[in-house]
Amino acid sequence: MERREFKLTDWQFSKDKENWSSVSVPHTWNAVDGQDGGNDYYRGTCYYKRTLDLVVQNGEKIFLEFDGAAMSAEVFLNGISLASHKGGFSTFRVELTEHLKGSDELVVAVDNGDNAIIYPQKADFTFYGGLYRDVKVITVPKQHFELLKDGTPGIKVTPIVDLKSKSATVTVETWQNDESVTITVNGESREVPSVGGHAEAVFKIENVHLWDGVEDPYLYSAVAELKSGDKISTRFGCREFGFDSEKGFLLNGRVYPLRGVSRHQDLKGKGNALEKADHERDIEIIKEIGANTVRLAHYQHSQDFYDLCDERGIVVWAEIPYITMHMKSGRENTLSQMRELLTQCYNHPSIAVWGLSNEITAASVVNEDLLENHRLLNNLCHEMDKTRKTVMANVFMLETDSPILEIPDINSYNLYFGWYLGELEQTDEFFDEYHSKYPERIIGFSEYGADSNVAFHSSNPEKGDYTEEFQCLYHEHMLNMIENRPYLWATHVWNLFDFAADGRDEGGKHGENQKGLVTFDRQTKKDAFYLYKAAWNKKESFVHLCGKRYEKRAEEETEIKVYSNQDHVSLFVDNWPEMELDGSTVFTFRIPLTAENGGVHKIKAVSGSCTDEMTIIKVTKPEESYVFNKAAATVNNWFDAVENDPTCFSVADTLSELRAHPQAGMIIEQMMAKASASRGDVAESVKDNPALQRMMGRMTMLSLLKQSGADEESIRQLNRVLQGIKK
Ligand code: GCU
Residue 421 and residue 385 in contact, taking contact as beta carbons nearer than 8 Å: no
Distance CA(472)–CA(525), nearest Å, equals: 12
Residue nearest to atom 6 of ligand 1 (CA): 124
304 CB under 6 A from ligand 1?
A: no
The values of phi and psi at residue 649, to 5°, are -75, 160
Buried b (16+ CB within 10 A) or exposed e, 569-600: bbbbbeeeeebebeeebbbebebebeeeeebe
SS3 615: strand
The values of phi and psi at residue 208, to 5°, are -65, 140
Amino acid at 110: V
Output the CA 169–ligand 1 centroid distance in Å.
40
Residue 629 and residue 684 in contact, taking contact as beta carbons nearer than 8 Å: no
User: Which atom of ligand 1 lies nearest, measured to the CA of 501?
Assistant: 10
Distance CA(28)–CA(270), nearest Å, equals: 8
In 3D, which of 235, 344, 231 has the Cα closest to residue 3? 231
Buried b (16+ CB within 10 A) or exposed e, 498-517: bbbbbbbbbbbbebbbbbbb
Output the CA 124–ligand 1 centroid distance in Å.
6
Distance CA(708)–CA(710), nearest Å, equals: 6
512 CB under 6 A from ligand 1?
A: no
In this prediction, residue 674 carries a pLDDT of: 63
63 CB under 6 A from ligand 1?
A: no
User: Which atom of ligand 1 lies nearest, measured to the CA of 449?
Assistant: 13
Output the CA 415–ligand 1 centroid distance in Å.
9
In this prediction, residue 718 carries a pLDDT of: 83
In this prediction, residue 719 carries a pLDDT of: 84
In this prediction, residue 637 carries a pLDDT of: 47
515 CB under 6 A from ligand 1?
A: yes
Distance CA(239)–CA(241), nearest Å, equals: 7
Distance CA(700)–CA(331), nearest Å, equals: 40
Output the CA 682–ligand 1 centroid distance in Å.
9
- Sign of the alpha-carbon dihedral angle for 626, 630, 634, 635: negative
Residue nearest to atom 10 of ligand 1 (CA): 124
* Burial class of 437 by CB neighbour count within 10 A (0 to 12, 13 to 18, 19+): exposed
In this prediction, residue 713 carries a pLDDT of: 76
Q: Please, which residues have CB within 8 angstroms of residue 703's CB and are 6 or more apart in sequence?
A: none
SS3 151: helix
Output the CA 197–ligand 1 centroid distance in Å.
43
E strand map for 404-534: 410-414, 443-447, 490-493, 499-506, 509-513
Residues of the chain where predicted confidence (pLDDT) is lower than 50:
633-637
Q: Which of 119, 121, 122, 124 to mutate to test the pocket of ligand 1 (most atoms within 8 A of CB)?
A: 124
User: Which atom of ligand 1 lies nearest, measured to the CA of 297?
Assistant: 9
494 CB under 6 A from ligand 1?
A: yes
Expressed in percent and rounded to 5, the helix, strand and coil fractions of the chain are 25, 35, 40
In 3D, which of 436, 423, 414 has the Cα closest to residue 485? 436
DSSP state, residue 377: H
234 CB under 6 A from ligand 1?
A: no
Q: HSE on the CB side for 312, CA within 13 Å?
A: 24
Length of the chain: 727
Output the CA 515–ligand 1 centroid distance in Å.
9
Bridge-based pairing of strands 258-263 and 293-296 is parallel
User: Which atom of ligand 1 lies nearest, measured to the CA of 323?
Assistant: 8
Distance CA(263)–CA(355), nearest Å, equals: 14
User: Which atom of ligand 1 lies nearest, measured to the CA of 358?
Assistant: 8
Distance CA(136)–CA(26), nearest Å, equals: 11
Q: Please, which residues have CB within 8 angstroms of residue 16's CB and are 6 or more apart in sequence?
A: none
Output the CA 305–ligand 1 centroid distance in Å.
22
Residue 631 and residue 712 in contact, taking contact as beta carbons nearer than 8 Å: yes
User: Which atom of ligand 1 lies nearest, measured to the CA of 395?
Assistant: 7
User: Which atom of ligand 1 lies nearest, measured to the CA of 123?
Assistant: 9
SS3 341: helix
Residue nearest to atom 2 of ligand 1 (CA): 124
What is the longest distance spanned by two Cα atoms in the chain?
92
Q: Which of 121, 262, 494, 678 to mutate to test the pocket of ligand 1 (most atoms within 8 A of CB)?
A: 494
712 CB under 6 A from ligand 1?
A: no
Q: Which of 356, 474, 678, 682 to mutate to test the pocket of ligand 1 (most atoms within 8 A of CB)?
A: 682
Residue tagged active-site, from 65, 146, 359, 712: 359
DSSP state, residue 124: S
414 CB under 6 A from ligand 1?
A: yes
373 CB under 6 A from ligand 1?
A: no
Distance CA(593)–CA(616), nearest Å, equals: 9
Known catalytic membership, residue 359: yes
